[in-house]
Structure 1
């Protein structure tokens, strides 16, 4: 085993992944992606418990949670995924290693 601790090795791995994600994100902005013509979520609304309950899109539309889920399932929203957990569908940002663009980190409207 090398001199580095398990924690340091993982921290280095995670930092390298975050740097790669930033580079890929910057490159994606220069090249039109298949999602370039789709709306994206730019702000969120939360309830008193901190749960996401509504979303504002890049075109200014305000969507309730169920409508956003339906549009994401239909492929109408860019950079979000729908997955099934806790017996229900859940909306989340695409995992790309960048914390700042996670739905929970977006501005509040």
Structure 2
């Protein structure tokens, strides 16, 4: 099972894509889809107030991927 290893953020600081342990670069939405299908390890999904799912690191010591390196 793949894990998220790096992130890419836009100029607002929002995550727009992830790199997996297999080297794939996937969009935020694709990561949410794969996490919901159980294809990504080490992540949790939470529903926000608008009914959309957001992806979070399941490692309690890492707050929302802040400690992850950038892709580029």
Equivalent in the alignment of 2:70: 108
Query: Greater strand share, 1 or 2?
Result: 2
Unpaired runs of 5+ in structure 2? none
For 2:4, the equivalent position in structure 1 comes to 41
Q: CA deviation at 1:60?
A: 0.1
Count of residue pairs brought into register by the alignment: 70
Taking only aligned residues, the RMSD between alpha carbons, in angstroms, comes to 1.4
- Counterparts of 1:1-109 in structure 2, within 5 Å, are 38-87=1-50, 88-96=52-60, 98-99=61-62, 102-109=64-71
More helix by share: 1
Q: Which consecutive aligned stretches of 4+ in structure 1 deviate over 2 angstroms post-superposition? A: none
Q: Deviation at 1:95?
A: 4.4
Output the TM-score relative to the length of structure 2. Answer: 0.89
Check conservation: 1:52, 1:104, Cα contact below 8 A.
no
State the secondary structure of the residue aligned to 1:71. helix
- Return the TM-score normalized by structure 1: 0.60
Greater relative contact order (Cα 8 A, min sep 6): structure 1 or 2?
2
Q: Larger radius of gyration, structure 1 or 2?
A: 1
The 1:48–1:86 alpha-carbon spacing in structure 2 relative to 1, beyond 3 Å, is farther
CA distance in 1, matches of 2:14, 2:49: 15
